[in-house]
Amino acid sequence: MIILSWQKKYKPFVNQPNYSTTTRSVNGWHGELDLVYAQRQGRTTLIHNQNIAPLKVQRPFYPEGQEICHSVILHTAGGVVGGDRLFCKVHLQPSAQALITTAAASKIYRSNGAQARQNIDIQVDAGACLEWLPQETIVFNGAIYRQDLRVELSTAANWIGWEITRFGRSARGEKFCIGEWRSHTEVWQQGVPLWIDRQWLPGSEEVFHSPHGLAGQPVTGSLVYIGQEVSQELVQKARTLFLSPTPSAGVTRLPCGLLCRYRGSGTTEVRNWFTAVWQLLRRSVLARGGCVPRVWFV
Q: What pLDDT does residue 15 have?
A: 32
Q: What pLDDT does residue 7 have?
A: 30
Instruction: Give burial (CB, 10 Å; 0-12/13-18/19+) of 291.
Output: middle
Q: What pLDDT does residue 66 have?
A: 96
Q: Answer yes or no: are the C-beta atoms of 202 and 3 closer than 8 Å.
A: no
Q: What pLDDT does residue 6 have?
A: 29
Q: For residue 270, is pLDDT > 70?
A: yes
Q: For residue 4, is pLDDT > 50?
A: no
CA dist 231 and 108 (Å) reads 38
Q: What pLDDT does residue 28 have?
A: 84
Read off the pLDDT of each residue in 63-74 and give the average, rounded to a whole number: 96
CA dist 138 and 170 (Å) reads 10
How does residue 3 score in pLDDT terms, banded at 50, 70 and 90?
Answer: very low
Residues of the chain with pLDDT > 70, as a percent, come to 90
Query: pLDDT per residue over 155-168, tens digit each?
Result: 999 999 999 999 99
Q: For residue 170, is pLDDT > 90?
A: no
Q: For residue 23, is pLDDT > 80?
A: no
Q: What pLDDT does residue 221 have?
A: 97
How does residue 29 score in pLDDT terms, banded at 50, 70 and 90?
Answer: confident
Read off the pLDDT of each residue in 254-271 and give the average, rounded to a whole number: 94
DSSP strand pairing (137-139 vs 180-189):
unpaired
Query: Cis (ω within 30 of 0) for the bond into 54?
Result: yes
Q: For residue 84, is pLDDT > 80?
A: yes
Q: For residue 11, is pLDDT > 80?
A: no
What are the residue ranges spanned by the domains of the chain?
A: 81-288
Q: What pLDDT does residue 2 have?
A: 32
- Average model confidence (pLDDT) across the chain: 89
DSSP strand pairing (192-202 vs 144-153):
unpaired
CA dist 29 and 298 (Å) reads 26
Q: For residue 18, is pLDDT > 80?
A: no
Q: What pLDDT does residue 275 have?
A: 97
CA dist 247 and 241 (Å) reads 13
Buried b (16+ CB within 10 A) or exposed e, 269-278: bbbebbbbbb
Q: Which residues, in sequence order, are bridge partners of residue 190? A: none
Q: For residue 19, is pLDDT > 60?
A: no
Query: pLDDT per residue over 178-205, tens digit each?
Result: 999 999 999 999 999 999 999 999 999 9
Q: What pLDDT does residue 25 have?
A: 44
Read off the pLDDT of each residue in 144-149 and give the average, rounded to a whole number: 98
Query: pLDDT per residue over 110-121, tens digit each?
Result: 999 999 999 999
Q: Which residues contact 160 (CB under 8 A, 6 or more apart)?
A: 129, 130, 131, 132, 133, 223, 224, 225, 278, 281
Q: For residue 62, is pLDDT > 90?
A: yes
Read off the pLDDT of each residue in 281-292 and give the average, rounded to a whole number: 93
Q: What pLDDT does residue 118 have?
A: 97
